[in-house]
Structure 1
Amino acid sequence: MNFNKKYFLASNSPRRKELLTNLKLPFESRVKEIDETYPPELARAEVAEYLAAHKASAYREELQPEEVIITADTIVCLDETILNKPYDHAQATRMLTMLSGRSHEVYTGVCLLSLEKSVVFHDVTTVHFRELTRDEIDFYINNYKPFDKAGSYGAQDWLGLVGIERIEGSYFNVMGLPVHRLYEELLVF
């Protein structure tokens, strides 16, 4: 990694901040409200990459030499359905009921942007949930308020601890940042 660069994470996610901190990457946070709509014809991996690049483009005009902005977007996909962040308790309940007893994919798109270049990539992880009871779903939603989480859950939360039977791929990708891929990309950025 180039420690002469100044890194900025464009995210409010405490999980992404924690992961970058654990990576020992010095960074500051910059946050803007960004419209997260995407063209409906995009495939799942394309959606995650599009949103990450779209978020980064909002910072392009204010970037200074030696600055790198890091953006990410995580989507949860059940078959061909993208499960975004839930609006309320009822929508979170519907999503978790749909995920119960099934496997799904988590895609995280990442964009690295500087004045000189831009790199966009993604990672995918398959998550297998055991059958969840309605009481477990209600307990989780009432106590953890997963309204800022794609698919209505966090792998690091109570529901992840009791509901995830196994994962195929990166656990950190499910948390919202494929740190192994980010590190590899930063080494050559």
Structure 2
Amino acid sequence: MLYLASKSPRRRQLLEQIGIDFEILDVEVPEIRGAGEPGIDYVSRVAREKAGAGLLQVVAVPGAIVMGADTEVALNGEIFGKPTDANDAAGMLSRLAGRTHQVISVVWCISAGQEDHAVSLSEVSIAPMDRACIDAYVATGEAFGKAGAYAIQGRAGAFVSHLSGSYSGVMGLPLHETSLLLERFRAG
């Protein structure tokens, strides 16, 4: 049985989209980047900790596999997590506007006797945006709960001038990489 250790409705939708059967586990993992911790290491660590926390909940279930994932936006080494309020969201979008940033998405699968992971790195270019445009977007509420304060699958898709990489990875779960991970994991 596959379990998804995530509160993200987008991750649930993406797994359902590719026909994966799973159950949800609610986990609480602190998302605090260590001093000097490289962005990709941070994202991978958080994803692995989510999967590990989930496994602790289902350790008695024979054959349980737990998937944990994390996605963050990175610009010049700085990680943009989820905004804390409207000012934080507007500040993030102001800094991303007119620039290209990286989206790091890591997925871990862990069972009682095995673990493996997949990484997706995407480059996203956001068109220039003025303050009125940013404020109007933040007012929709869509910026909240999203790394970098935007949802590529929503209204912010109109601001994305170029994407190189995984669209679903930018959403929060890279489907191609996740499918390959599950194949490797189940074969191992």
- TM tier, smaller: over 0.9
Name the structure 2 match of 1:3: none
CA contact (8 A) 2:3 2:23 kept: yes
- Give the TM-score normalised by the residue count of structure 2: 0.93
Q: Secondary structure at the residue paired with 2:140?
A: helix
Q: How many residues align?
A: 183
User: How far 1:60 moved relative to its partner?
Assistant: 3.0
* Structure 1: unaligned runs, 5 residues or longer: 1-5
Q: 1:70 aligns with which of 61, 67, 71?
A: 67
Q: Secondary structure at the residue paired with 2:35?
A: coil
CA contact (8 A) 2:55 2:65 kept: no
User: How far 1:121 moved relative to its partner?
Assistant: 2.6
How many angstroms apart in 1 are the aligned matches of 2:21 and 2:35?
36
How many angstroms apart in 2 are the aligned matches of 1:119 and 1:146?
31
RMSD of equivalent CA atoms? 1.1
Q: Secondary structure at the residue paired with 1:59?
A: helix
Q: Secondary structure at the residue paired with 2:117?
A: strand
1:110-121 counterparts in 2 under 5 A?
Answer: 110-121=107-118
Q: Secondary structure at the residue paired with 1:12?
A: coil
For residues 45-73 of structure 1, give each alpha carbon's deviation from its aligned partner in whole angstroms, at most 9, with x where no partner exists.
11111110111221233322211111101
Q: 2:47 aligns with which of 42, 52, 56?
A: 52
Mean CA deviation greater in 87-96 or 112-121: 112-121
Identical-residue share of aligned pairs (%): 33
Q: Could you list the structure 1 runs, at least 4 aligned residues long, displaced by more than 3 angstroms after superposition.
A: none
* Structure 2: unaligned runs, 5 residues or longer: none
One-letter amino acid of the structure 1 residue matched with residue 27 of structure 2: K
User: How far 1:144 moved relative to its partner?
Assistant: 2.8
